[in-house]
């Protein structure tokens, strides 16, 4: 396992901060009044790619350049935020970046990845098909396949946990969105390295809750399909390495419905005038679901990203919950 000591995480954070400033954490009074607790928001929607994944890409590409010096280009599959982060870091390091997305992926995210320098290819109609094509092209073209979860990604992502805990060290609970798990594992790594007792709660969609069921069963349990507009947490098959790490270290998991997520997006807008994408709002939705348990406590939620599709956001802000096709997802 990669070294998650405090010295190692501080070194990773210094590498991240050379490119990406610390993001703010604010205790918004209206959110506090609504939730009944001293509620802090960690604003990962304020990074250069609009999501937390930019951090892990910096440390991952640094590791790749040191351990695989002959690599000239990377390839990966994504729904958007992972891809933007990898393209940004790879092109800055002089590597080419090929990104495979499924047909129907958010146009704004596709445009952002191209703007960062990606060769973007649409393939298939779900993430699994895009991933299979990425693996095939990696072998065919000699490109390095970047996974969605890796210990070096966790080291970089842990920098937001260090920032949060350095600023607010006496938190009782932190709610963290869970996709493939780098955010949850990074937050846990930062907490443990600092020797804190803060409870870390993973949050998933109630419509694709494989990570929650895997955590509770102590073994991998996959979901056949995902039916949620919160793409970033639409993970059908959890990552074993992530489960091995967060399994004994997370406090619990909470599942939230799409209606709860849409309401959390509207609340973010009303109370803070920040725009959260679906996955970015699940932590707040979970905190509000557990409002009775959190009364009077000091709590943080990770607003993991703000890259919502404009038409989808317009629908949500008008009071609706987006309906999505039943599909396979990451």
Residue 100's pLDDT is 96
Let me know whether 125 and 159 are in one domain: no
Sequence-separated (6 or more) residues with CB below 8 Å from residue 82? 53, 57, 76, 148
**Based on the domain organization, do 94 and 36 belong to the same domain?**
no
Distance, C-alpha 68 to centroid of its chain: 26
pLDDT-derived band of residue 129, with 50, 70 and 90 as boundaries? confident
Residues 275 and 325: their CA atoms lie apart, in Å, by: 24
Confidence of residue 214 (pLDDT cuts 50, 70, 90): very high
Q: Which two tokens stand for residue 300?
A: 């943080």
Q: What is residue 329's predicted lDDT score, i.e. its pLDDT?
A: 44
Burial 316-327, CB ≥16 within 10 A → b, else e? beeeebbebeeb
- CA 197 to the chain's CA centroid: 23
Edge to edge, what strands does the sheet with 252-256 contain? 25-27, 38-43, 298-303, 173-177, 199-205, 252-256
Pick from 129, 145, 161: which residue ends a domain?
Answer: 145
- pTM across the whole model: 0.96
Residue 33 belongs to a domain: yes
Reported as a single tens digit per residue, the pLDDT across 135-184 is 999 999 999 999 999 999 999 999 999 999 999 999 999 999 999 999 99
How would you classify residue 139: left for phi > 0, otherwise alpha for psi between -120 and 50, otherwise beta?
A: alpha
What pLDDT score does 298 carry? 98
Contacts of residue 32, Cβ cutoff 8 Å, sequence gap at least 6? 38, 39
Does residue 203 belong to any structural domain of this protein? Answer: yes
**Are 33 and 66 within one domain?**
no
Asked if residue 160 and residue 125 are part of one domain, the reply reads: no
CATH number at residue 219: 3.40.50.1100
Same domain flag for 65 and 175: no
> What confidence score (pLDDT) does residue 263 get?
98
Same domain, 138 and 248: no
Do both 291 and 202 map to the same domain?
yes
Q: What pLDDT score was predicted for residue 328?
A: 47
Q: Which value, in Å, is the radius of gyration of the alpha carbons in the chain?
A: 18
Classify residue 329: in a domain, yes or no: no
Same domain, 231 and 101: no
Q: Is residue 35 part of a domain?
A: yes
The reply to whether 138 and 157 lie within a common domain is no
For the chain, the domain total comes to 2
Residue 308 falls within a domain, yes or no?
Answer: yes
pLDDT band at 52 (very low <50, low <70, confident <90, very high): very high
46 and 120 share one domain: no
Domain boundary pick from 145, 174, 190: 145
Position 223 pLDDT exceeds 90: no
**For the chain, how many residues are written?**
330
Q: Which domain holds residue 90?
A: 53-145
The pLDDT tens digits for 225-252 are 778 899 889 888 899 999 999 999 999 9
- CA 188 vs. chain centroid, Å, equals 14
User: Is residue 214 located within the same domain as residue 158?
Assistant: yes
- Token reading at 6: 């405090």
Of 128, 145, 162, which closes a domain? Answer: 145
| Residues 86 and 219 reside in one and the same domain | no
Q: What is the pLDDT of residue 127?
A: 75
pLDDT at position 102, please? 86
């Amino acid at each position: 396992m990669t070294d998650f000591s405090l010295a190692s995480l501080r070194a990773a954070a210094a590498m991240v901060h050379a490119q990406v400033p610390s993001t703010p954490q604010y205790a918004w009074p209206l959110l506090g009044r609504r939730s009944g607790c001293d509620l802090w928001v960690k604003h990962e929607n304020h990074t250069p790619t609009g999501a937390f994944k930019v951090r892990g890409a910096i440390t991952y590409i640094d590791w790749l350049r040191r351990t695989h010096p002959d690599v000239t280009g990377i390839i990966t599959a994504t729904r958007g935020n992972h891809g933007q982060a990898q393209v940004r870091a790879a092109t800055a390091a002089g590597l080419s970046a090929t990104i495979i997305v499924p047909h129907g992926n958010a146009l704004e995210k596709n445009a952002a990845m191209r703007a960062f320098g990606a060769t973007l290819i649409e393939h298939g109609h779900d993430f699994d098909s895009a991933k299979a094509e990425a693996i095939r092209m990696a072998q065919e073209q000699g490109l390095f396949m970047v996974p969605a979860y890796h210990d070096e990604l966790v080291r970089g992502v842990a920098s937001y946990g260090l920032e949060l805990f350095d600023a607010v060290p006496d938190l009782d609970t932190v709610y963290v969105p869970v996709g493939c798990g780098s955010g949850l594992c990074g937050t846990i790594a930062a907490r443990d390295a600092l020797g804190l007792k803060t409870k870390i709660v993973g949050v998933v969609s109630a419509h694709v809750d494989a990570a929650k069921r895997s955590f509770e069963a102590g073994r991998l349990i996959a979901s056949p399909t995902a039916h949620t507009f919160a793409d970033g947490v639409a993970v059908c098959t959890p990552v074993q390495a992530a489960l091995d790490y967060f399994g004994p270290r997370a406090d619990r998991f909470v599942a939230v419905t799409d209606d709860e997520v849409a309401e959390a997006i509207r609340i973010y807008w009303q109370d803070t005038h920040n725009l959260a994408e679906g996955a970015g709002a699940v932590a707040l939705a979970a905190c509000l679901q557990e409002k009775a348990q959190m009364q009077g406590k000091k709590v943080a939620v990770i607003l993991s990203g703000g890259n919502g599709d404009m038409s989808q956001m317009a629908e949500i802000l008008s009071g609706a919950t987006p309906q999505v096709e039943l599909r396979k997802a990451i």
